[in-house]
Every structure is written in structure tokens, then in C-alpha cells.
């Protein structure tokens, strides 16, 4: 089984639950954005309450990739503030951790995160990204597809997929006033999963206008677009489980900025598909 198609939901509309699935952190709150119930991998928001701390070492059975959305968390003496990023392989030891002011972290597990008793688990050091302050990184405008140059995107690559030799996790910006030439272009399809969380701004496409907190998990083989934005968008993106190849549709699809919210949601999330963004808090 894989994760269901979600395009798109507002993270703010999901309730916070006590604890984290897998049982490793009973004293946080979390909300699962998407999950493969068979394999256990997920994309999850974790809220660490102010004053949270771990004084004993913690080792997880899953890889934990995270990006701080709010507040800060200190792990092994290093402070991860807003927009800091890390990727800890399964087996990475957190000797200590705390969050004096509280923290919200966009977090990705590659399987169900359970506690390891063993603190000497081997892992490939090439999988470890211990700390990135993404503010200190420079934007680049490299693109693999000249057909997308009109979008004017810039990116900061956070994690490289060694299996497919491509960017896997990255920050992505689109400037304001972007729309296809003549207000039409073909759809795009990839043989990989595309996952996105809107950090700020907006991006508009046939499923509606994605504002801050909009999240999608788009399985491989799903045609999407066209996209554009009036005000510009700042997005956290991951490509997973396949090659990021752009397969363009054969026909132009009309574009405009006024698509109504019309999401693709699995039955257990269908109730989130009503009126979208207006009036929502940040989380
Ligand atoms: Fe795409």
C-alpha cells in the first residue's frame, strides 16, 4: 500500500493529537498530514510544548527529517530555530533535547518511529544532515526543464537523492505575477511522488489556491497544473520514490487565478474539503 492522493488539505484544519504514533514521544502533540499505514512512513507536524525536554538519550528506528516552522528546539546542544533543517538517520542518538519556548516542526519519518533500546546502531553517515540554517544558504535558479523557465523559480536544495541522483528535498520560490503564456499550458506528470507544504504566499492551480499551511501528497503518474501565482509563493517540496522526470501533456489547459477549492481527498479526510483558508490560524 502507498499513501493516498491528497491535493490539497489545510494542515490547520487537522486536530492536534496527544503523542506521536509509534510511541516514542508521548509528551508532544502531533497531526499526521499523510501516512502509509502499511509501511509506516509519514509526514507529520509535531508541536513540542514550551518547557519540553529529554534528558535521557533517544534513538529512533526511523529516519527523521525535519524543518522548523515556529519556535525552536535544542538537540545535542545545537539550537534549531525557525527554518532550520536536519535529517537524522535511524539510529542517530539524540543525547539530550529541549524546547524552552516550544516548537512546531514539519517532520518526515521513513517508517513508524519507535524507540531503539540500543544506542550503538550503525547508520550510513552519508544519510546524516546534522544541521542546516536555510537562511544562510544562497538561492539558485538551476532548472532541469527549460520549459519551466517562465516560472522564474529559485531553490535551495536541502537533501540529495543518491539513488536517483536528483534533488529530493528543497525550498522553492515562485515570484509574483506568474502565469503561463497566453494563460494556457499543458499539464505535467512525474513518475515520482511530489509532496509540498506552503510556507507562505500562494500558488493557484486547478485544485484551488494554496495558501500558508496547504499540503499535498501527489502520487506518481498524476497530471497536474497549470500553476501560477499573483502574489508569489514559498514552498517546501520533496520528490520521493522515483525519478523526477517531467512528462508534458499534449494539450494546452486554460489557466486563471480564480480556481475554486476543489480538492482530491481520501474518504477519511473528505470532511476537510469545505471552505478553505480564510480565518485559519498559522497552525
Ligand atoms: Fe510537479
- Domain-ending residue, one of 136, 163, 196: 136
Domain presence at residue 8: no
Give me the domain span that covers residue 23.
Answer: 16-136
The answer on 260 and 219 residing in a single domain is yes
The rounded Å distance from CA 149 to ligand 1 centre is 14
Return the HEC string of the chain.
CCCCCEEEEEHHHCCCEECCCCCCCCCCEEEEEEECCCCCCEEEEEEECCCEEECCCEEECCCEEEEEEEECEEECCEEECCCEEEEECCCCEECCEEECCCEEEEEEECCCCCECCCCCCCCCHHHCEEEEEHHHCCCECCCCCHHHHHHCCEEEEEEEECCCCEEEEEEEEECCCECCHHHEECCEECCCEEEEEEEEECEEECCEEECCCEEEEECCCCCECCCEECCCEEEEEEEECCCCCCEECCCCEECCCCCCCCCECCHHHHHHHCCCCCCCCCC
- Domain-ending residue, one of 136, 155, 176: 136
The answer on 99 and 20 residing in a single domain is yes
Domain presence at residue 281: no
The rounded Å distance from CA 99 to ligand 1 centre is 35
Q: What is the pLDDT of residues 61-119, one digit of tens each?
A: 999 999 999 999 999 999 999 999 999 999 999 999 999 999 999 999 999 999 998 88
Q: What CATH number does the domain containing 252 carry? A: 2.60.120.10
The rounded Å distance from CA 53 to ligand 1 centre is 39
The rounded Å distance from CA 190 to ligand 1 centre is 7
Q: What is the pLDDT of residues 231-260, one digit of tens each?
A: 999 999 999 999 999 999 999 999 999 999
Domain presence at residue 280: no
The answer on 64 and 30 residing in a single domain is yes
The rounded Å distance from CA 188 to ligand 1 centre is 6
The rounded Å distance from CA 176 to ligand 1 centre is 19
The rounded Å distance from CA 195 to ligand 1 centre is 9
The rounded Å distance from CA 282 to ligand 1 centre is 25
Amino acid at each position: 500500500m502507498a499513501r493516498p492522493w491528497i491535493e490539497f488539505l489545510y494542515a490547520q484544519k487537522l486536530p492536534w493529537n496527544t503523542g506521536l504514533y509509534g510511541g516514542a514521544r508521548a509528551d508532544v502533540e502531533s497531526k499526521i498530514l499523510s501516512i502509509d499505514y502499511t509501511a509506516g512512513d509519514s509526514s507529520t507536524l509535531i508541536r513540542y510544548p514550551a518547557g519540553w525536554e529529554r534528558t535521557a538519550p533517544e534513538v529512533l528506528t526511523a529516519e527523521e527529517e525535519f524543518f522548523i516552522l515556529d519556535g525552536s528546539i535544542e538537540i545535542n546542544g545545537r539550537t534549531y530555530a525557525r527554518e532550520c533543517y536536519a535529517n537524522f538517520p535511524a539510529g542517530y542518538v539524540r543525547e539530550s533535547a529541549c524546547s524552552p519556548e516550544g516548537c512546531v516542526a514539519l517532520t518526515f519519518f521513513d517508517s513508524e518511529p519507535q524507540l531503539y533500546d540500543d544506542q550503538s546502531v550503525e547508520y550510513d553517515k552519508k544519510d546524516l544532515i546534522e544541521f542546516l540554517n536555510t537562511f544562510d544558504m544562497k538561492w539558485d535558479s538551476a532548472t532541469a526543464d527549460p520549459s519551466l523557465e517562465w516560472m522564474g523559480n529559485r531553490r535551495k536544495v536541502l537533501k540529495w537523492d543518491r539513488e536517483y541522483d536528483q534533488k529530493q528535498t528543497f525550498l522553492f520560490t515562485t515570484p509574483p505575477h506568474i502565469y503561463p503564456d497566453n494563460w494556457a499550458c499543458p499539464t505535467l506528470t512525474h513518475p515520482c511522488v511530489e509532496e509540498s507544504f506552503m510556507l507562505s504566499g500562494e500558488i493557484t492551480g486547478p485544485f484551488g489556491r494554496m495558501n500558508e499551511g496547504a499540503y499535498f501528497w501527489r502520487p506518481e503518474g498524476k497530471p497536474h497544473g497549470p500553476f501560477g501565482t499573483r502574489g508569489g509563493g514559498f514552498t517546501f517540496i520533496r520528490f520521493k520514490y522515483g525519478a523526477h522526470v517531467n512528462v508534458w501533456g499534449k494539450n494546452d489547459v486554460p489557466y486563471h487565478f480564480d480556481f475554486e477549492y476543489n480538492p482530491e481527498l481520501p474518504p477519511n479526510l473528505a470532511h476537510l474539503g469545505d471552505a478553505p483558508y480564510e480565518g485559519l490560524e498559522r497552525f
